[in-house]
Amino acid sequence: MTLAALGGAPLFDKNRHGKWPQVTDADKRAVMEVLDRGILSGSDAPAARAFQDEFARLHGAKFALLTHSGTSALQVAVGALGIGEGDEVIVPAYSFVATALAVIQQGAIPVFVDVLPETGNMDPSKIEAAISPRTKAIMPVHVHGCPCDLGPIGAIAEKHGLFLIEDAAQAHLATYEGKPVGTFGQGAGFSLQSSKNLSAGEGGLYVTNDEALLERANQVRNFAQNLVRADSAHYNLDRPLDGHKALVSLGIGSMYRGNEMMAAFGKSQLARLPELTKKAQDNGHRLAKALRELPGVMPPAIPDNRTTVFHKYRVWLDGQAAGVDLSPEQLRDATIKALRAEGCEVVMWQAEPLPSFPLFGELKGFGKGFPFAFHGSSPSDTERLRANYHASYPVTRKLLHSSLVLFSQTCPLIAQDAATVDLYADAFRKVWSDRKRLVEIAKG
């Protein structure tokens, strides 16, 4: 069969894709119950409390707080630990920019390390070289829903007296050594953005097992006010905005709470999350088995001591193993074009390491250099940061130049049936059976 990108017929109609999130009658009823109740917000509003409790229970955590985004959940985690001006947090060079921005928004400085070629997760062997006297925390990212190697990362954090903050934005219900991610460190942040496996449109959840950190996190998300969780017992849940005492700001915070419609929708979706996660895992492994049969095609690698939730499905391409005379970028781009023409949803998601963004390379920060330049900083601090941000990050760069992401934000793997997933395998087989012609596609 002629490749669709070269004039042949597409293998399937792209309109067959399932879209995400899937909104059910139960979801609509949950939101309508909020509207009928007339309580739409509040740090202790009933839908938020119920959602937080259920999310924490399902993830094996003691506490959860609803925030208005996954980014603010991470910022709350950083703020609860008192991390701020002049402090450094180690983050991976491969992630969404929100990981680093959550650090910057609290006035601290992200310091990058390279990732592992197999998973795209933070490389534990690179961490200690990035530790300085200013380092306060390590923030690994469970990228694409596959957990980081939390054992050695946690050991490094403990050895150097550092906090461990998990960026679990993409990893709801993923497990490391049988335990759900999000509870291995002092705190974690999850996202509820529309494309996430657990969606509420926008939103996030901060998770911790430490009640003192919960109190401080709640202050960060509520204008740094003198809120105490025990005070919630005095609240009237019919009037959650009417507290029994005057509130005073104790420091710098913001309004990072979620709202009741978000909470009700998220809790309704949460009830189906285990079932949908299992379906996504089955389909992800099913597709991986088919792709492994193709020379030079490597589906997501899942270490034996972990389970992934396949939030994104990144596939690596090796032109030499495939026998295709193209550069990694040319092979990636030609394959994307060929698969899209067959009906597949294929995206890049990220194209370069985070440190290559102007945000880091120019060190402007909020406009006058802060937080990269701060009270007490020295020229050697600046030079060390500049060297970190201008490093090559060869593994991250190779990963991004040699891979593509199957499915998309609107049509992720979790929204697809098994028949559609099988068609992706068929599309890859079709393209790979005639892969020599990818050279023509690459040359236009």
Kindly list the structural domains of the chain, giving each domain's residue range(s) and its CATH number in brackets, ordered by start.
Answer: 25-271 (3.40.640.10), 273-350+397-442 (3.90.1150.10)
Residue 67 — φ and ψ, nearest 5°?
Answer: -125, 170
Q: How far is the first Cα of the chain from the last one, in angstroms, to the nearest whole number?
A: 20
pLDDT value at residue 226: 78
pLDDT value at residue 16: 97
pLDDT value at residue 223: 86
- The owner of tokens 């985690």 is 77
Q: Which two tokens stand for residue 47?
A: 């839908």
pLDDT value at residue 34: 97
Q: Return d(Cα 174, Cα 65) in angstroms, integer.
A: 19
On the CB side of 249, how many CA atoms lie within 13 Å of its CA?
A: 10
Summarised one tens digit per residue, pLDDT across range 84-97 is: 999 999 999 999 99
Instruction: Using a cut of 0.75, tell me whether the model's pTM lies above it.
Output: yes
Q: Return d(Cα 423, Cα 12) in angstroms, integer.
A: 7
Q: Return d(Cα 64, Cα 259) in angstroms, integer.
A: 15
pLDDT value at residue 231: 55
Nearest of 70, 222, 275, 48 to residue 56 by alpha carbon: 48
pLDDT value at residue 208: 98
Q: Return d(Cα 268, Cα 284) in angstroms, integer.
A: 24
Nearest of 128, 179, 134 to residue 157 by alpha carbon: 128
Q: List, for the chain, all residue ranges whose pLDDT scores fall below the cut of 70.
A: 228-237, 243-244
pLDDT value at residue 229: 57
pLDDT value at residue 244: 67
